[in-house]
Amino acid sequence: MATLDEGHHYLIAPDPAKRGLTRRVTGRDQNGDLSEISVVEEKPLTIFLNSQEIVTAMTIGDYPEYLALGFLRNQGMLSEEDSVTGVDFDAELETVVVRTAKITDHEEKLKKKTRTSGCAVGTVFGDMMEGLSGLKLPQAEVRTSWLYSLSATINRTPSLYLEAGAIHGTVLCQQDRPLVYMEDVGRHNAVDKIAGWMLSERVGAQDKILYTTGRLTSEMVIKTALMGIPVLASRSGFTAWGVEIAREVGLTLIGRMRGQRFICLSGEDRLVRDADPAQIGDESARHGRKGARR
């Protein structure tokens, strides 16, 4: 079991300077002048469950083991009862093999072709929907002071987005403390990395908040619910089906978090308004253009 840090330091944070995540590319700007910028790398990663190939995802390439574990967990191919005996990453072959004590067969699952609206590879939607049957999340309270504190901390954190753009971020939080911050070209990949870390470290979900820079779609709501996390918050907006599913499973859903403003479309009765919005500074004035995310 991972011991969660008592301070405000991340257990895992973005590392914009890490080799292999971005490259420098030269082009010409609107005036025809030479300009060099950082762009995010995309790499294929093929995930195997035992001897069976499951999916090839496009990813930035960090934390491949967490991505594989989280993807399989969120797709219902790994349950809490399954015993994972090994997770082997081969950088040369660009593969991760997740091995379990009991061989599983998911050929029927792989025949389902409906994809989500997530960018990059997307996920198999039917598999995720199956896990929602009868699911009810813990009725955890969330304080507005936590939300304002998390937003301020996360949006000031050095990240690949601020370095190169074209990327999504997801942060696992506990009260007002951001714990694990993952980024990837697909928002679902970032969430799966969080899920894989939680599974690997045996971290409980009942008192956690998931913060994402991406849209609150049905996919994001379902994945958060399957992880057992009771609160999902975002700077971005909602889809109607995402809101409907959140209400059905008892997920507190908060979006359009910018400066003083946010809106809660599910679980408003669990929201404790212990901070005065008037005391929260305007985001554009605080962060400026560079800090304004999606």
Instruction: Quote helix, strand, coil % in the chain, to nearest 5.
Output: 30, 30, 40
Residue 28 and residue 208: Cα distance in Å, rounded? 45
pLDDT score at 267: 96
Residue 250 and residue 257: Cα distance in Å, rounded? 20
The answer, yes or no, to whether residue 216 has pLDDT greater than 80, is yes
Cβ atoms of residues 44 and 75 within 8 Å: no
For 257-286, what is the mean pLDDT?
86
Cβ atoms of residues 199 and 78 within 8 Å: yes
Among 251, 119, 238, which residue's Cα sits nearest to residue 188?
Answer: 119
Who wins on pLDDT, 4 or 84? 84
The answer, yes or no, to whether residue 25 has pLDDT greater than 70, is yes
For 63-69, what is the mean pLDDT?
97
pLDDT score at 128: 66
- Which pair of structure tokens corresponds to residue 35? 């300009």
Q: What is the pLDDT of residues 244-257, one digit of tens each?
A: 999 999 999 999 99
The answer, yes or no, to whether residue 4 has pLDDT greater than 50, is no
Domains of the chain: 43-130 (3.10.20.10), 142-291 (3.40.140.10)
pLDDT score at 224: 96
The answer, yes or no, to whether residue 218 has pLDDT greater than 70, is yes
Residue 156 and residue 286: Cα distance in Å, rounded? 10
The answer, yes or no, to whether residue 105 has pLDDT greater than 60, is no
Q: Indicate the SS3 state at residue 238.
A: strand
For 157-182, what is the mean pLDDT?
92
The answer, yes or no, to whether residue 65 has pLDDT greater than 90, is yes
> In one letter, which amino acid is 212?
T
Residue 43 and residue 60: Cα distance in Å, rounded? 6
The answer, yes or no, to whether residue 103 has pLDDT greater than 70, is yes
Cβ atoms of residues 57 and 94 within 8 Å: no
Residue 165 and residue 144: Cα distance in Å, rounded? 28
pTM of this structure:
0.86
The answer, yes or no, to whether residue 229 has pLDDT greater than 80, is yes
